[in-house]
Chains A and B, each alone.
Chain A
Amino acid sequence: MNAERAPAPSSEPELAAGRFDEACEAYLERRLPAPATRAFERALLEPALAQRFREALLVRELLGSVGPDAPAGLADRLESLVCDELAREGRGAGASGRGSLLGGWRAALGGLSWTLRGPSLAFTSQPAAPSGAGPFLQGLGTMRYAVPALAEGRAAREPARRAPLWWRLLRGRRT
């Protein structure tokens, strides 16, 4: 379960409803520990809560079956499109350019552009975010997706050139 909690709803009934809803979600997704599950099931004996639980179930069921299905043949068309891209770039096994500095930077910048696009759109298309939290800062938090590509390349390139710290300290003391 996530350590992060939802911001507190504004009123007391909404708070209670929010907690019950969260418990419903956790119960239906089997995320509740055994004692909490038993307590939740006991609470369902109360008709008002049972009714709320039925509603939660219906909402989940309806949202879970929302369509539409992808049109027939779309996946095949997309498959050939991606294979064409592969062929055009000549990216067979071993030709991915992963080890090169250029490849790492290209991948990182590609990821970075996607990272920044979300927050910038949040500013332009949805100025009134309900949470009030800064969407730009939230988006910057996703920058970690852009970093592994660089880190991977650097780890492969960097040989252990420097002497260990204890050796350098000892040598420093002697001189």
Chain B
Amino acid sequence: MGINESLVITWAMMSVRMTTPILFAALGGLLTSRTGVFNLALEGMMLSGAFFGYYGALTSGSPWMGLLVALLIGILLGLLFAYFSVTLNVNQVITSIGINTVALGLTSYFSRVLLTDSDVIVAPTFKDIVIPGLSDLPIIGPIVFSHSILVYLSILILIIVNWFLFKTTNGLNLRAIGEDATACKTVGINVALYRYLAIIACGALASIGGAYITTVAVNRFLENIVEGRGWIAFAAIIFGRNMPLGVFGACLLFGAATALQMLLQVQGFKIPYRFALMIPYVVTMLTIALIAKKEQIGKVDA
């Protein structure tokens, strides 16, 4: 019993950690999706955040600096996306493909060019904050109260997004834009401004989600290190029905699947590791397939 129990606790704790990067990106994507813009560039935005967060931390010696750099890069990518999809009215899918492709190419290129001469490739990371007292609680303690600051930040942002969407006038306007942008224009709402701000916030959040991977989970950058988490985040938005808490639940599910996969490998279960690696993606596909019939991804209008 003892071993199994501790295994479950480890799994739960790892689930929380695997949830965080997806949650950051998904909350950002939720904001744009609520304005009727579908950001399929979450993957590219996360990847940029992962690289620049890592590089910032590596060169400055502080994970905080890395986070700041990732934030700025995310804002920049958000601006770029908004300029193309809102101002120039380019198809959102094409804009997204562009950003994803550029992000993959550039981060891979930079990682080779910038990191070859350097002997030190291990960047400083955020340490876990073990909350005194609370972390000593049985079971709950290790699962909830012994994580890095970014984990707590993601939960704080979840609460803020939920509050913003449903308790503020701007949140109401934002939700209305996603339903019928033309109607919003007729009551004098600046639709383009809302979309710009939502996309920029999304860029920042997705980028921080990416930076989490390189400044908390792993201390180095590898090509394509995000490994489809941006796409999983997008799936979480749909699975969570565009509701912050629903999205959180979906992220937890996908996070748990990722943690399970890692655990299976570490514990040396007798299945080929390639199958274990598939778990989070298979779970994503199955959930999407299950809800695909019932849910509309949503309509976009000008």
Task: Tell me whether A and B are bound partners.
Answer: no
